[in-house]
Amino acid sequence: MKRILSLLLVLSLLLPAAAFAEDDDDLSAADIIEEEVILDDDGNEVVVDEETGEGFVITSADQDKLDDLTAHYEVDDTVDPDTLECNPNLPDNVINILLLGVDVKGTGTEKMLKDQEKYAKRSDVIMILSINKDDGSIKLSSIARNTFVEVPGRKNKTIIANSYGNGVYENGKYKSWNETPSLVVRTVNHNFELNIQYYVATNFYGVASIIEALGGVDIDLTKTEATAINAYLRKHKSAISRTYDDKNGKRDALKAQSGVQHLDGIQALMYARLRSIDSDFVRTARTRHLLDCLLKPTVQKIKNKELSVIDLVSDFIDYFVTNMNASDIFSIVSEVLGGGIMNRLDSDTLISEFRIPMDDTWKYATANGSSVTMMTDKQLNVESLHEFIYGRYYPAN
């Protein structure tokens, strides 16, 4: 059983590029994006960057690989778009996708998110990936995990990380945890007047494994960050090795100095998770930065034909859970790679970033016995998020 997920990152859109034909009554990206199919002299489909004229080819051999994957492809069909409280007033030139990093450890034999359904989960990372179909731009907005919000259908507010699941109790005692990915999508739409219909989720093991398979990542670290990553991996070596680390903790430590260093999958994961040295807000910035550092070399390899998008699908499809079908994802990948992104590889970043709550619009508070991040001006956050994604505010009502 295989499902597609989201690299918890923009990278997810570069991994599962597939062109399967599926019947789907729900609104799909394929319905939104009208593509003109371009063929080369051999009749192969070509995805072309509109600015550079360059592209990658979907050969008949690639199509055979995709057809083979179809037999193992499974989509989460539990999400009903009609229940997601989508804002009908938003323009359709932007596709918003919710990227979720799920906090669940499991066991050494149950590392994949799709195999960890009986374990309690929280959405430790919540990001909105926004793709503009007009100009191919990519925007990434983080929501701090402790942000105190209304969760539709629940009596009391809670942190947004808790909207991923529901605890099941019997006689007042905790029994189990039910996954509710549709609820976290609805919660984001409800609180921020968005129109998200799709989600992509992975766990820590999936992120680390994908980064490792890509050959690691180069990141400009501070001395404090490098030291903290080393210390965390030493302290939790046994636990990490049991659940996430296929190297069994055997790696060279990072240099305790500032500068660009090469991180393997686990080190990169710990970089994105660091918050003890500063705050959760800085951690969300690290997560966004990690995605940008992964995206640029991946796009460059695709441009140089060193990396096949189709092979990436085969290699990484196991690590994801999503409600997006393959044709949706392929349409979006085509939009990104054909929208000028390859022409921006020399820029400092391929991704524009935003964060909720914004500076000076929040405070720490105590609710239900726990520390939470409370928005002191929620409306300003909502309007500013819309302006970041769309250029103006579109109220839901």
Q: Is the peptide bond before 357 cis (omega within 30 degrees of 0)?
A: yes
The number of helices, as runs of H, and strands, as runs of E, in the chain is 11, 19
pLDDT on residue 75: 79
Dist. CA 144–CA 282, nearest whole Å: 10
For residues 47 and 55, is the Cβ–Cβ distance under 8 A? yes
Q: Which among 267, 237, 241 is positioned nearest to 254, based on CA atoms?
A: 267
Range scoring the smallest mean pLDDT among 209-223, 291-305, 317-331: 317-331
State the chain's maximal CA–CA distance in angstroms.
69
Q: What are phi and psi of 310, to 5 degrees?
A: -65, -40
Q: Which among 305, 333, 366, 267 is positioned nearest to 133, based on CA atoms?
A: 333
pLDDT on residue 56: 55
For residues 43 and 58, is the Cβ–Cβ distance under 8 A? no
Give, in order, the Cα–Cα distances in Å from 219 to each of 177, 297, 300, 354.
36, 12, 17, 20
The residue that leads in pLDDT, 236 or 184, is: 184
Per residue in 313-362, pLDDT (tens digit) is 667 778 888 888 766 666 676 667 666 676 777 777 778 899 999 999 99
Listed ranges 41-45, 140-144, 308-312; the one with the highest mean pLDDT: 140-144
Q: Is the pLDDT of residue 22 over 60?
A: no
Indicate the fold that domain 2-204+305-390 takes in CATH. Nucleotidyltransferase; domain 5 (3.30.420)
Dist. CA 38–CA 53, nearest whole Å: 12
Per residue in 205-214, pLDDT (tens digit) is 888 988 988 8
Domain boundaries, the chain: 2-204+305-390
CB-CB neighbours of 51 under 10 Å = 15
Measured distance between the N- and C-terminal CA atoms of the chain, rounded to whole angstroms: 41
pLDDT on residue 263: 96
Q: Is the pLDDT of residue 23 over 50?
A: no
CA-based angle 147:149:152, to the nearest 5? 145
Q: Is the pTM of this model over 0.85?
A: no
Q: Which among 183, 207, 180 is positioned nearest to 121, based on CA atoms?
A: 180
